[in-house]
Amino acid sequence: MDLKTLLNKEQHEAATTVNGPLLVLAGAGSGKTRVLTYRIAHMIEDLGIPHYNILAITFTNKAAGEMKERIKSLIDVDIDSMWVSTFHSCCVRILRREIDKLGYNKNFAIYDSSDQKTLVKECMKELNINDKDIDEKEIISKIGKQKDGLMSPEQYKKENESDFRKNKIADVYLLYQKRLKNSNALDFDDLIFKTVELFKKHPEVLEFYQNKFKYIMVDEYQDTNKAQYELVKLLAEANKNIFVVGDDDQCIYQWRGADIKNILDFEKDYPNAKVIKLEQNYRSKANILNAANTVIKNNAQRKSKVLRTENPAGEKIKIYRAYSDTDEGNFTANEIKRLIEKENKTFNDFAVLYRTNAQSRIFEDIFMKRSIPYRIIGGQKFYDRKEIKDIIAYLKFINNLQDDISLKRIINVPKRAIGAATVGKIQDFANYMDECMYSVLLDIDNIPGLTTRNISSINKFTSLINSFNRTKDKVSVSKLIEEILESTGYLKVLQASNDIEDMSRIENIKELVSAAVEFENISEDKSLSAFLEKIALVSDIDNYDGDTDTVVLMTIHSAKGLEFPVVFMAGMENGIFPGTRCMDNFAEMEEARRLCYVGITRAKEKLYMTSASTRRVFGRSVSYSESDFINEISLNLRENVSEKRTNTARSTSAATLEAYKRNNLNSHSISTFGNRKAEKAINSILNNENLSSNNDFGNGSKKSIDSNEISAGRKVRHKTFGVGTIVSASKTSNDIKVTIAFDNMGIKQLMLNMAPIELL
């Protein structure tokens, strides 16, 4: 294939440099996926390199699938068996073949976050650790960080024996790993941790995979943690044919272990490495791209790179300062409706991006009222629903009878007279015998303290499981699910219910069966283990379908790798984005700025950046100043659309309130507006429900205030509090309650007839 006509100069150089270490710094929208796919196609078709000698690693299953399909469209070679996968999928494949060398069975279970939480809580209980002193979230986070950093529980214990808190966490880590192994299970972090351990303890295994994968390619290299970095380094050690592509300006996962030094120090690891920069952007209009450049250049820890584009300038970045979070949501809805009507946009052209998932509620409420279809990426996942987790637990246990966590989930689901007390006795006896729970269930008569009814119920349960276990390799996964639903009575219980939610559960279970059928139709390996691997490794973004005609609501982290014609970046306020912790932490501020850069570069045609003067946070009305990141965008690249309102009263009140906050609130300050009546008063003024249409400012003469002269934005003087600005007013039974932002005394609520105030 003639790559010179298909790729630009830098892309062509990256695609045709095959031998030796190569770092490609690929800016947002610069065609890195195109380079990856054409490079692999060139290696196979033009250079005759066998596809089985190539390992390509991505960060999502969706990206891996798309890459494989694009390669297939370029060359007429069967590459179905080629390893194009995520880090975790790659490691699962290796461990399925080799994990017995570490003392595990090859049918190991993969515990999700829910299973992990359950097991950690059990370990805490066994060790008498009070969750009020150390909660399970902290322990799970610490364990995950140790595994990402390749630190074993023994090492962690040894290093922290003098630290009371960390020593307790180390005890949980030790017991947790022991219980995992007894259950023949790995958690998500173990998948890479154990693969690295396997390679280091068994050089012959490492040598086999080094000979197999002579050419290694890693996408999104800036997001690798220490364990992933070490895995890649070990595999590439023999041949040094390592190609990594990434963008240090898009390293936004340091909070979960990603180490930006992996990409910044690539040339130290491989002194003869070649470096190629992809700076031609094909995604965004020039103004959007230039805005991204002006923001990210403020970061010190980065490699020099300036994106350019041949696309037209396009519209300026639209900056909207809302009165409230509700106003922010209404503005977004109005613009979506307007652009659909005026520019023939469709709903799937729009994305609303925010810093945290909690920010979605306002948009959900308003979009529902305005009949704007939407979907949330990052909400409850399909495989996290109770009924799905129940059936998956049956499958996991049938596949691995040592899986105590799955056993405890299903042993009394549906109810079969095996209560929590009985399960506790079984667990205690299993711990005493140092065996898995199912082993002791098979000798149920040996467990003390069980009633005849308990024993009868348990025998029926084990008989059922043994039946499933005998048929698991003889029937398809979908048929096995149907058999579980029928034999356990799970579906019958739901069908007998009058609860609407249970009707929805039935639909979800049908969808699970459909997912199993789809898996059987497209997968080469149709085994139960393969099906469980697939659903264990699926991420929320893997289910994103850009063809569904809905507005997308998602965090900026989730949006990485996606693009949309129109993007709204919401909550652009100091204290939210960037967060308050960033203000005093250089590294966190730089990561927040990289996240802002990612958000900006998701937009192809139009970009809105919105903020609110007041919003509800943890039940309180708070006020934050506009994000510093907005101010980092050059003035010639942005326009303030909030200044274009035709309603004078709204513009005046907003401007005065903003002036007050600029003069009196720093980026950390929070103003609490008190009770619900005050909040209602503020909302009324923000929705233009002023008590008077008189919006003239005083001419400097002093006079007492008449109720007819009340309006937002008017300057007043209080005998004690000094000069202030009227924010809002609301009628009471025989008076008017006025909310005033005083220059030096904050916001006060006063009754007009009693307050010693006068107009200025």
Say whether 548 is catalytic.
Answer: no
Residue 220 annotated in active site = yes
Residue 371 annotated in ligand binding: no
d(CA 159, CA 165): 12
Q: What is the DSSP string of 108-130?
A: -EEE-HHHHHHHHHHHHHHTT--
Name the amino acid, one letter, at 381. Answer: K
Q: Are 245 and 221 in contact (CB under 8 A)?
A: yes
Q: How far is CA 110 from CA 96, 188, 192, in A?
A: 12, 7, 12
Q: Where are the alpha helices (DSSP H) in 237-324?
A: 261-264, 266-269, 286-296
Consult the annotation and say whether 28 binds a ligand.
yes
166 in active site: no
518 contacts 543 by C-beta, under 8 angstroms: no
Q: Is 32 a known ligand-binding residue?
A: yes
Of the residues 112, 190, 219, 590, which is catalytic? 219
Instruction: Residue 629: name the closest of 602, 654, 600 by CA.
Output: 600
To the question of whether residue 701 is assigned a binding role by annotation, the answer is no
Angle, alpha carbons 321-324-330 (nearest 5°): 80
30 is an annotated ligand-binding site residue: yes
Specify the amino acid at residue 264: L
Q: Which residues contact 563 (CB under 8 A, 6 or more apart)?
A: 29, 283, 602, 603, 604
* Contact between 179 and 16 (Cβ < 8 Å): no
Q: How far apart are CA 692 and CA 342, in angstroms?
A: 35
Count the neighbouring beta carbons within 10 Å of the beta carbon of residue 291. Answer: 28
The structure tokens listed for 703 are 């006079």
Can you read off the two tokens belonging to residue 252?
């936004």
> Quick check: is 602 catalytic?
yes
453 is catalytic: no
Classify burial at 479, counting beta carbons within 10 Å of its beta carbon; exposed 0-12, middle 13-18, buried 19 or more. Answer: middle
724 marked as binding residue: no
User: Which of 88, 144, 135 lies closest to 113, judged by CA?
Assistant: 144
Q: Which of 10, 32, 179, 638 is catalytic?
A: 32
**Nearest Cα residue to 181 out of 287, 80, 102:** 102
Which helix (H) or strand (E) covers residue 328, if one does? helix 325-343
Coil, helix or strand for 733?
Answer: coil
Query: CA-CA distance, 201 to 208, in Å (whole number)?
Result: 14
Q: Collapsing DSSP states into helix, strand and coil, what is residue 184?
A: coil
Q: Is 27 annotated as a binding residue?
A: yes
User: What does the longest C-alpha to C-alpha distance in the chain come to?
Assistant: 95
| Helix-, strand-, coil-residue percentages of the chain, each rounded to 5 | 50, 15, 30
Check if 5 is active-site: no
By three-state DSSP, how is residue 52 classified? helix
Catalytic, out of 146, 250, 402, 555: 250
Residue 244 pairs in a beta bridge with 23, 218
> Is the bond preceding residue 578 a cis peptide, omega within 30 degrees?
yes
Using a 10 angstrom Cβ sphere, with 0-12 exposed, 13-18 middle and 19 or more buried, the burial of residue 238 is middle
DSSP state of 625: P
What are the C-alpha distances in Å from 453 to residues 26, 416, 417, 421, 450? Answer: 66, 10, 8, 13, 8
Catalytic choice (277, 318, 534, 602): 602
**310-333 burial, b for 16+ CB within 10 Å, e for fewer?**
ebeebebbbbbbbbbbbbbbbbbb
63 annotated binding-site participant: no
Instruction: Note if the bond before 414 is cis, omega within 30 degrees.
Output: yes
Please state the residue numbers annotated as binding site for ATP. Answer: 26-33
Please give the positions annotated as active site.
32-33, 219-220, 250, 602
Binding site membership: which residues?
26-33
